[in-house]
Amino acid sequence: MSGSVAERSVNKNEGFVLPYVLVVIFVLALTSTIAVRSIGAAGQVITALDADFMARQRLASAEADTLYVFLTSAAVKGGIDTSYTPWTTNDMVDGFDVTKLPSNAIWSASGGQRTSRYPSGNVTVSYRDVSGLVPLNRNAPELLDRLFKGVGLKSDVAKSAAAKLGDYIDSDNRRRFRGGERADYRLKRMPPPTNAYLRAHEEVYRILGWKKMITPPLYERLRRYTTLTTSTTYYRKRFLSSDVARTLGLDDSDGKIRRLSSQNMDMLDALTSTVEMPTQQGRFIFSTSQATGKTIIRAIEVERSPMAPDRPFRRYVVFEETRDASDNSESENAQNGASIPIFPTSDRLIQ
């Protein structure tokens, strides 16, 4: 009898073996699936980080190459000479004849684009002289009023925006018509105006009333059309883009850019508006694609200081951001396939 009881106990335990094995297999399969997905996600993260690193390395190299070209190239009519053609004594006296330069020698300061090529990818660089941008830090009410109306603000709102900007950056506490000084900021429980030049485009949102007026698309246009430099000329017609000229209402139906009225322009501004030589300061926009399909955009402004050998240039970062490739309005085909002259180091290709 005891033997039959033992046999029944063994048979009963044997009945649980198959379900137990199936549960173990299910757990192992589930764990393997999770592990595979985690490895795949980790691989994607590593790939994205590697693509970002390579893209930023290209940007740094392109910026160094561009800076060298900008600092060592001679300013000529319309841009800079990247061929390093020697100047004769007559050239220095009578002006350099740009027709003697080889093809693609002049890098146009009116938005001309070049390509910096590296083993890991290419970087597109556009160059515009800052005199082709609207100076926000300059007391130019007529120009700023045209700018604000051109980007979509109504006439009264545009005048108010220009007046509030003027009160924010000027050094006095006298309130302009439609402007705003410290008392107005206190009523709105806002930090007082700095009474100093804007240091970054993001600072415009600290100006009284601007947060409601400046939408994100409008802010994007302001950032592209304006400069914060305090050393630029009023503007030079040669370097205005067609988009900026159209926004300012300075373009004619025949596509030519006409001059702003002499109101609020002194004699020097009126004279320099027709000059075709670039200034000592340029804005460079770098664009490079990542393997992930994103595009990194970096905009800087560089000011040459030829009379200060201890500080030959100054660099200002305008913005840097990552966009989808379809949203990259800055990336276009390089001008005539021209390339930036670059150094023959181990990680760069000479063009």
* Comparison of pLDDT for 100 and 109, the residue scoring more: 109
Q: Are residues 180 and 255 in the same domain?
A: yes
Query: Is residue 21 predicted with pLDDT exceeding 50?
Result: yes
Q: Is residue 116 part of a domain?
A: yes
Q: Are residues 264 and 148 in the same domain?
A: yes
Q: Is residue 291 part of a domain?
A: yes
* Comparison of pLDDT for 227 and 335, the residue scoring more: 227
Confidence grade of residue 92 (pLDDT, cut at 50, 70, 90):
low
Q: Given this model, what pLDDT does residue 102 score?
A: 77
Q: Quick one: the chain helix, strand, coil %, rounded to 5?
A: 45, 20, 35
Q: Given this model, what pLDDT does residue 103 score?
A: 73
Domain that holds residue 317: 47-132+276-337
Mean pLDDT computed over 271-283: 83
Confidence grade of residue 70 (pLDDT, cut at 50, 70, 90):
very high
Q: Are residues 124 and 332 in contact, defined by beta-carbon separation less than 8 angstroms?
A: yes
Q: Are residues 299 and 258 in the same domain?
A: no
Sign of the torsion angle spanned by Cα atoms 284, 287, 288, 290: positive
User: ∠ at Cα 319 (79, 162), nearest 5°?
Assistant: 85
Q: Are residues 152 and 218 in the same domain?
A: yes
Write out the E strands in the chain. Answer: 74-76, 79-81, 106-108, 110-118, 121-129, 134-135, 226-227, 281-289, 294-304, 313-324
Q: Is residue 342 part of a domain?
A: no
pLDDT tens digits, 29-67: 777 777 667 666 666 666 666 777 888 889 999 999 999
Identify the CATH number of the domain in which residue 162 sits: 1.10.40.60
Q: Are residues 54 and 171 in the same domain?
A: no
Mean pLDDT computed over 85-113: 74
What share of the chain in percent tops pLDDT 70?
Answer: 73
Residue with tokens 């804005």: 283
Q: Write the single-letter amino acid at 256.
A: K
Q: Is residue 237 part of a domain?
A: no
Q: Are residues 163 and 206 in the same domain?
A: yes
Q: Are residues 184 and 280 in the same domain?
A: no
* Alpha-carbon span 342 to 66, nearest angstrom: 8
Q: Are residues 140 and 120 in the same domain?
A: no
Q: Given this model, what pLDDT does residue 61 score?
A: 92
Q: Are residues 62 and 291 in contact, defined by beta-carbon separation less than 8 angstroms?
A: no
DSSP one-letter code for 100 = G
Q: Is residue 203 part of a domain?
A: yes
Query: Is residue 330 predicted with pLDDT exceeding 70?
Result: no
What share of the chain in percent tops pLDDT 90?
Answer: 33
Backbone phi, then psi, for 113, in 5-degree steps? -120, 140
Q: Is residue 287 part of a domain?
A: yes
Q: Which range is least confidently modeled, 42-51, 109-118, 210-219? A: 42-51
Q: Given this model, what pLDDT does residue 93 score?
A: 47
Q: Given this model, what pLDDT does residue 126 score?
A: 95
Residue with tokens 């800079």: 80
Q: Are residues 146 and 252 in the same domain?
A: yes
Total domain count, the chain: 2
